[in-house]
Amino acid sequence: MGILEGKNILVAGVTMDSSIGFAVAKFAQEQGATVLISNFGQALRITRRIAKRLPVLPEVIELDVTDPEHLAALPGAIREHLGADAVLHGVVHSIAYGNPETLLGGKFLEGPWNDVAQAVQVSAYSLKSLAVACRPLMTEGGSVVGLTFDATVAWPAYDWMGVAKAGLESCSRYLARDLGPENIRVNLVSAGPLRTLAAKAIPGFGELESMWATRAPLGWDNTDQEPTAKAVCALLSDLFPATTGAIVHVDGGFHAMGA
């Protein structure tokens, strides 16, 4: 029996089969979960096509985490697929966006506020939005897991996305505080650099990921999303009942090295 047997999991933000969200959905299904995935806009069509590559074809929900109407309708959409008395046991926030033309690749000093505000809303504030939207379905407690990239330091090329991720990390701690009394855990997984669609959009990303080749004591495969997916699913499971407000590093040990 898998560690997610009998659990209902929403993975928000699945686009390509190279994404961390896809890897999480796949491993969650292999561990016995019933999985729903989401996306919106033009990407929704891609998501529906990619969904067919999962072990079990999941229901696909249209969800823009910046749209109040989508968020308000989310519990009903989930119940439509899982049943009127459905309980949601886990939520995965695999969502981030920053305009690469104005916010990334050495453009920190020039980043315009409108684009920064969008990056913060999509990449950080939406963790709160998604958790609150799913809260009515998490009547038995549960787990919210987001994905970050270590925001304790400044990275080459990452610029305003680093600031947005810092907001995400802070947001997760406050959510852990406020949802803890309802037995809802909130944690993040900080992955090393992975060759995802989002990463490819970052100008200068190669400079950033090259550091891992010599400094990660366990080594690092930037094409392998499975270690990150396994960590996310472990946090979604009942194996960490007293862990919340934490950041689990899945980066080959890079974060612990000084040089």
User: Is 110 part of any domain?
Assistant: yes
Q: Give the predicted TM-score (pTM) of the model.
A: 0.96
Q: Which residues contact 43 (CB under 8 A, 6 or more apart)?
A: 15
pLDDT tens column, 88-138: 999 999 999 999 999 999 999 999 999 999 999 999 999 999 999 999 999
Residue 206: pLDDT over 80: no
Tell the residue number behind the tokens 């409108």, with chain if given: 114
| Confidence at residue 141, expressed as pLDDT on a 0 to 100 scale | 92
R_g of the chain computed on alpha carbons: 17
Which residues on adjacent β-strands are paired with residue 60?
A: 37
| Confidence at residue 174, expressed as pLDDT on a 0 to 100 scale | 98
User: Is 122 part of any domain?
Assistant: yes
User: Is 113 part of any domain?
Assistant: yes
- Where in the sequence is the domain holding 148, given as residue range(s)? 8-249
CATH at residue 213: 3.40.50.720
pLDDT tens column, 5-61: 999 999 999 999 999 999 999 999 999 999 999 999 999 999 999 999 999 999 999
Q: Are the CB atoms for 53 and 112 separated by under 8 Å?
A: no
Torsion angle defined by CA atoms of residues 105, 106, 110 and 112, in that order, rounded to the nearest 10 degrees: 30
User: Is 258 part of any domain?
Assistant: no
Least Cα distance to 92 among 147, 165, 32, 15 occurs for 147
User: Is 208 part of any domain?
Assistant: yes
How far, in Å, CA of 233 to CA of 92, rounded?
9
pLDDT tens column, 188-204: 999 999 987 666 667 66
The half-sphere exposure of 5 on its side-chain side, counting CA atoms within 13 A, is: 3
The H-assigned helical ranges of 51-194 are: 68-82, 113-120, 126-134, 159-179
The half-sphere exposure of 86 on its side-chain side, counting CA atoms within 13 A, is: 23
Token representation of residue 198: 């989002």
User: Is 256 part of any domain?
Assistant: no
Counting the structural domains of the chain, the total is 1
Which residues on adjacent β-strands are paired with residue 142?
A: 184
- Give the pLDDT band (50/70/90) at residue 259: confident
Packing angle, helices 113-120 and 159-179, rounded to 10: 40
In Å, how far are 103, 131, 233 from 226, measured between CA atoms?
29, 24, 10
| Confidence at residue 199, expressed as pLDDT on a 0 to 100 scale | 65
User: Is 214 part of any domain?
Assistant: yes
User: Is 124 part of any domain?
Assistant: yes
- Give the pLDDT band (50/70/90) at residue 208: confident
